[in-house]
Amino acid sequence: MNRILFEQSEIVDGIATFGGERAEHVLDVLHGEVGQVLKTGVVDGLIGTSEIVSICRDEATGERIVSAKVDHRFESLRPWVDLILAPPRPRVLKRLLPQLTAMGVGRIVLVGARKVEKDFWGATLLKPEIYRPLLVEGLMQSGTSILPEIVLKRGFRRFLSDDLDVMFPSRRRVVAHPYGAEGAPSQADGEPEGRLLLSVGPEGGWTDEEVALLESHGFSRYSLGGRILRTDTALIALLARLSPTASGFMV
């Protein structure tokens, strides 16, 4: 955890009170003591620091509880990319969510491309109370606070025809696909402005028809080369490659 994040409801009269994993991290990893200043923030809010004012144990549960006086006055770094993802198996997605968040993804639209496994849509992971902590974990890792949004769009064609332009007007659009533009720089390279919209296929890959449809909606193909990567490897490599920070445009 590079920044401890609080829910707004945990802060009363300028004092944040928290237990669980965050308190354990503060006490056992950061060796927190009264007077120590922590990097903190509010989920979907401002970031800054907090000074520990007390450490105690809950009498009923024995849980260690930390209270800290908050001073949050700075804006977090904002996401630089949104994702259209034909989801992999839930256990792969579960591993990915904190990492996508930490790498700066703002909105993740999970779409029902043809090769997405049908039973994916019944996964427990899709419940906000299950995936939200994974997103917050990614924010605490990266030290940011803007919570990504997850949107489910099971109908791929309908999403493209009805929702794409409304949700993502005037965006640079890129479809990651191993075939067709091998090694060639794409429009995604070298553009310093604007938030990118990246689409990544299912574990079985995009069908030719889906790639053609994406292209007809303004997506340009982007290949990392002829090696076909696992979805999780491809996603991290794509984000690292396309990041404006990596290109030197933004710090």
Residues that bind ligand SAM (CB under 6 A): 176-178, 200-201, 203-206, 223-225, 227-231, 234
Report the residue count for the chain: 251
Q: Identify whether the C-beta of residue 66 lies closer than 8 Å to the C-beta of residue 75.
A: no
> To the nearest whole angstrom, how small is the minimum distance from the Cβ of residue 232 to ligand SAM?
9
Give dist(CA 233, CA 227) in Å, integer.
Answer: 11
> To the nearest whole angstrom, how small is the minimum distance from the Cβ of residue 216 to ligand SAM?
17
Q: Nearer to ligand SAM by C-beta: 20 or 225?
A: 225
Q: Nearer to ligand SAM by C-beta: 155 or 204?
A: 204
Tokens of 160: 């493209």
> To the nearest whole angstrom, how small is the minimum distance from the Cβ of residue 21 to ligand SAM?
32
Q: Nearer to ligand SAM by C-beta: 133 or 204?
A: 204
> To the nearest whole angstrom, how small is the minimum distance from the Cβ of residue 172 to ligand SAM?
16
DSSP 110: E
Q: Nearer to ligand SAM by C-beta: 201 or 244?
A: 201
Q: What is the dihedral of CA 69, 73, 74, 75, to 10 degrees?
A: 110
Q: Identify whether the C-beta of residue 100 lies closer than 8 Å to the C-beta of residue 106.
A: no
> To the nearest whole angstrom, how small is the minimum distance from the Cβ of residue 116 to ligand SAM?
11
Tokens of 105: 């993804």
Q: Nearer to ligand SAM by C-beta: 154 or 230?
A: 230
Contacts 24+ apart (CB under 8 A), 206-212: 206/86, 206/113, 206/115, 206/175, 206/177, 207/113, 207/114, 207/115, 210/113, 210/114, 210/156, 211/175, 211/177, 211/180
Q: Nearer to ligand SAM by C-beta: 42 or 175?
A: 175
Contacts of 128 by beta carbon, 8 Å cutoff, 6+ apart: 150
> To the nearest whole angstrom, how small is the minimum distance from the Cβ of residue 247 to ligand SAM?
18
Tokens of 245: 């920070």
